[in-house]
Amino acid sequence: MGQNIVKSVKSLVSEANKVVNIMTVDEVKKILNKDDHIIVDLRDFRELKREGKIPGAFSCPRGMLEFWIDPESPYHKEIFNQDKTYVFYCASAWRSALSAKIAMEMGLKPVAHIAGGFSAWKKSDGEIELLD
């Protein structure tokens, strides 16, 4: 007998988007080099290597987010212990919606994510930093 999935990922993303601040690409372009924001790329390294990233974005693979946020975790990263706004993004704003919600639940604040993710960034001709 197969599994009985009672909640779809689409509904999880929809629920997250009801409580998370969503920034447009244009809004993110305005804060791109501001010291009071940290842009966090949640895509895996293969995606970064293939497509590049938003300039200056901090790379945090989605699977490590909770561990890197939690100061009690042996994997904690100090970048998540600053008085700044954290702006998450992924390829199309699904992982980032879920990530922003869980980060808020953990106590990280303020938190937002980019509408449309990196796909929307590229479509708007946003600057891209390529990795070597």
Of 68, 104, 63, give the one whose Cα is nearest residue 86.
104
Q: Is 21 domain-assigned?
A: yes
- Residue 7 tokens, joined: 């909640």
Give me the domain span that covers residue 113: 13-123
Burial of 36 (0-12, 13-18, 19+ CB in 10 A): exposed
Q: Is 98 domain-assigned?
A: yes
Residue 131 has pLDDT above 80, yes or no: yes
- Report the CATH number that the domain containing residue 79 is assigned in CATH: 3.40.250.10
pLDDT digits (tens, 9 = 90+) for 10-51: 999 999 999 999 999 999 999 998 999 999 999 999 999 999
Q: Is 64 domain-assigned?
A: yes
Where residue 95 falls (left for φ over 0; alpha for ψ -120 to 50; beta otherwise) is alpha
DSSP-based three-state secondary structure for 86: strand
pLDDT digits (tens, 9 = 90+) for 85-102: 999 999 999 999 999 999
Residue 127 has pLDDT above 90, yes or no: yes
Q: Is 85 domain-assigned?
A: yes
Determine the longest span between alpha carbons in the chain, in angstroms: 53
pTM as predicted: 0.95
Angle at 108 between CA 61 and CA 62, to 5 degrees: 10
Q: Is 7 domain-assigned?
A: no
Q: Structurally, how many domains does the chain consist of?
A: 1
